[in-house]
Amino acid sequence: MKNKFNALISYFDKLKFKYKTAFLIFIIAGGMTCIIILSQISIFAIKQDFDILFDKRTKSLMQLENIKDAYAVNIQDTLSDFEKKQISDKQASEILKLAQEIIDKSWSSYKKQIQIQNKDILTTFIKMFVIKQENYYENKTLKNSIMNNINSKMEIIKNSIIKINLNTQKEDYYINLNLQINSLSIYLTSLINYDLSLAINEKRNTDKIFNIILIFSIISIFIVFLFSVILSIFIINNFKQLHNSLEEKVNIKTKELQELNNSLETKISKEVILNRKKDIIMFQQARFASLGEMLNNIAHQWRQPLGSITMIIQSFQTKMLLGKLNQNFVDEKVKDALLLANNMSNTLDDFKNFFSPNKIKSEFSIKNCIEHSIELSKYLLIQEGIEVKLTIKKDIKINSFYNELSHVFLNIISNSKDALSSNVDKNDRIIKIIVNKFKNHLVVNILDNGGGIPQEILAKIFEPYYTTKYKSAGTGIGLYMSKQIIEKHMDGEISCKNILHKIKDERVFNCSLFTIKIPIQNDNRTSENA
């Protein structure tokens, strides 16, 4: 490619001056043609934006029509049907409540749409240039008055519906409520007519300004074309002198380039030596960073078992003070403490070989792995009054890394515990774990009713060292490490989202849902990317 480019430059240099001049004129003419085409495209793009803005203005009117229909159909007709004994008191109350929610949502959406339109750049342009040129001004006082009346009427009707007792209310109360709704419908009609007339005026005025812009663009193109011709003549007259001076500069630069090439080999050798030194320094820094990360991981995994062991030790003292310390209790707690200590020891082994490419997979039951993680957390879960519901729709044996997967479950359970402890009443704290099989994947869903994760940090929870806890409570690497284990070591996926779920009785809670997908493999191959 470089040789072809140099050949093209060499061929152009050998051309006569008149051919170079013709080439220059061709470039200028082509450029002007492109300018004309692009300017026309831009003008018609603006016209398209004007049309889109008109469509947006008219769409908001549909929301007002929906509000009118909701009052007329969902409220007035419902009250009428109830008076005629066509529906029950419970059905009428549910319809009125649903209608009020629809009305509030539509009215909020309309006001939000108006605010967005007021901030829109194109709308501002129309108000500053298009509307003022036609001596047409938006009567904001009138619109605000209508909207204030609508807000007032809506509030009166809403309070009336909230306080209404369908079985004991008198007939004149329903008549008065219908009058209020009819009055509100009049205000809504006025607002619809106001917005519609404003949109029609804006449409008419933007069409006029578009025609003016089109005429001015044609005149501007002609003027620019004329100036470009004059400029071309001026450039052609000076082109010969510029060409000669350019050749002289090229010769000077060529000489400098030859001198630079002579010293380039020495400079490259020096740079190679410097880069090797930098590589050594970066390698040392990477080793220190890996060591620090491993220590942080171990500290993160030991925090919960140490807390559980502390609780076991305290339970001995409590039982002894109460005189209830017996051999069965001692045996049970010693067994639990040894289990926790063994897990801590396994944690050291796991992280010692965390980056080793020679780890061997083993076949194990996913149910046993999850129950093992729950067992390690049970003391802190009991202390916080947290109930764990494990649902195994299909127990599956997978060929993977038992301890690493157990650490992942332990991390997520620990995060759920922290969220439940700070946000939920002690009688409602639940962690729900559901295991199932989908196609060739094991799917584990872990959710809690801890209020969900704030939307602004949801995308960052798997980043390293990102935490919303105090430094004494978390390092921000638990979920990062879990993502590394699932995606890099097990070729799976881990994700998180907020959902609404009836996790307990009929109440709907804000829940955070972690989903883990692991491919099911039936071989004993070693993990190449572990």
**Which tokens belong to 491?**
């070729």
Q: Distance between CA atoms of 391 and 445, rounded to whole angstroms?
A: 10
Among 227-241, 318-332, 364-378, 487-501, whose mean pLDDT is lowest? 227-241
What is the tens place of the pLDDT at every residue in 425-435?
A: 888 899 999 99
What is the tens place of the pLDDT at every residue in 14-58?
A: 666 666 667 767 777 777 777 777 777 777 776 666 666 666 666
pLDDT of residue 193: 81
Q: Going by C-beta distance under 8 Å and a sequence separation of 6 or more, which residues neighbour residue 424?
A: 449, 450, 451
Q: Distance between CA atoms of 181 and 172, rounded to whole angstroms?
A: 14
Q: What is the mean pLDDT of residues 474-488?
A: 77
Task: Using the predicted structure, report yes or no on whether residue 205 has a pLDDT greater than 80.
Answer: no
Better-predicted residue by pLDDT, 168 or 478: 478
Q: Distance between CA atoms of 259 and 271, rounded to whole angstroms?
A: 19
Q: Pseudo-torsion of CA 217, 218, 220, 226, nearest 10°?
A: 160
Most confident of 38-52, 94-108, 336-350, 395-409: 395-409
Q: Distance between CA atoms of 476 and 496, rounded to whole angstroms?
A: 16
Q: Distance between CA atoms of 346 and 352, rounded to whole angstroms?
A: 10
Task: Using the predicted structure, report yes or no on whether residue 364 has a pLDDT greater than 80.
Answer: yes
pLDDT of residue 159: 74
pLDDT of residue 123: 55
Most confident of 14-23, 151-160, 355-364: 151-160
DSSP per residue over 125-165, as a string? HIIIIIHHHTT----HHHHHHHHHHHHHHHHHHHHHHHH--
* CA distances for 157 relative to 98, 140, 161, 168, 306, angstroms: 14, 25, 6, 18, 59
Task: Using the predicted structure, report yes or no on whether residue 396 has a pLDDT greater than 90.
Answer: no
Q: What is the mean pLDDT of residues 283-301?
A: 55
Which of 309, 339, 406, 336 is closest to 366 using CA atoms? 406
Task: Using the predicted structure, report yes or no on whether residue 334 has a pLDDT greater than 80.
Answer: yes
pLDDT of residue 516: 95
- pLDDT grade for 529, boundaries at 50, 70 and 90: very low
pLDDT of residue 265: 72
Most confident of 2-11, 244-253, 315-324: 315-324
**Which tokens belong to 509?**
């809670």
How do beta strands 362-365 and 387-392 pair? unpaired
Task: Using the predicted structure, report yes or no on whether residue 517 has a pLDDT greater than 90.
Answer: yes
Do residues 49 and 130 make contact, with C-beta atoms less than 8 angstroms apart?
no
Better-predicted residue by pLDDT, 83 or 292: 83
pLDDT of residue 518: 93
Q: Distance between CA atoms of 81 and 88, rounded to whole angstroms?
A: 9
**Which tokens belong to 449?**
């009713």
Task: Using the predicted structure, report yes or no on whether residue 148 has a pLDDT greater than 90.
Answer: no
Better-predicted residue by pLDDT, 70 or 530: 70
Task: Using the predicted structure, report yes or no on whether residue 515 has a pLDDT greater than 70.
Answer: yes
The shares of helix, strand and coil residues in the chain, as percent rounded to the nearest 5, are 75, 10, 15
pLDDT of residue 118: 63
Do residues 346 and 405 make contact, with C-beta atoms less than 8 angstroms apart?
no
Q: Pseudo-torsion of CA 248, 250, 254, 257, nearest 10°?
A: 130
User: Cβ-count burial of 46 within 10 angstroms (0-12 exposed, 13-18 middle, 19+ buried)?
Assistant: middle
Task: Using the predicted structure, report yes or no on whether residue 472 has a pLDDT greater than 50.
Answer: no
Task: Using the predicted structure, report yes or no on whether residue 492 has a pLDDT greater than 80.
Answer: yes
Task: Using the predicted structure, report yes or no on whether residue 342 has a pLDDT greater than 60.
Answer: yes
pLDDT of residue 351: 56
Do residues 525 and 490 make contact, with C-beta atoms less than 8 angstroms apart?
no
- pLDDT grade for 286, boundaries at 50, 70 and 90: very low
124 phi-psi bin (left φ>0, alpha ψ -120 to 50, beta other): alpha
Most confident of 26-40, 200-214, 479-493: 479-493
pLDDT of residue 99: 80
Better-predicted residue by pLDDT, 32 or 481: 481
pLDDT of residue 436: 92
Better-predicted residue by pLDDT, 55 or 344: 344
Do residues 202 and 58 make contact, with C-beta atoms less than 8 angstroms apart?
no
Task: Using the predicted structure, report yes or no on whether residue 466 has a pLDDT greater than 80.
Answer: no
Do residues 353 and 404 make contact, with C-beta atoms less than 8 angstroms apart?
no
Among 276-280, 341-345, 426-430, whose mean pLDDT is lowest? 276-280
Q: What is the mean pLDDT of residues 363-376?
A: 87
Task: Assign 361 to helix, strand or coil.
Answer: coil
Q: Going by C-beta distance under 8 Å and a sequence separation of 6 or more, which residues neighbour residue 354?
A: 294, 297
Do residues 300 and 475 make contact, with C-beta atoms less than 8 angstroms apart?
yes
pLDDT of residue 526: 38
Percent of the chain whose pLDDT exceeds 70: 73
* CA distances for 479 relative to 226, 272, 300, 464, angstroms: 67, 40, 11, 8
pLDDT of residue 367: 92
Task: Using the predicted structure, report yes or no on whether residue 121 has a pLDDT greater than 60.
Answer: no
Q: What is the mean pLDDT of residues 513-519?
A: 94
Q: Which residue has the tokens 């883990």?
A: 516
Query: 327-352 and 366-383 helices cross at what angle (nearest 10)?
Result: 120
Mean pLDDT of all residues belonging to the chain: 76
pLDDT of residue 267: 78
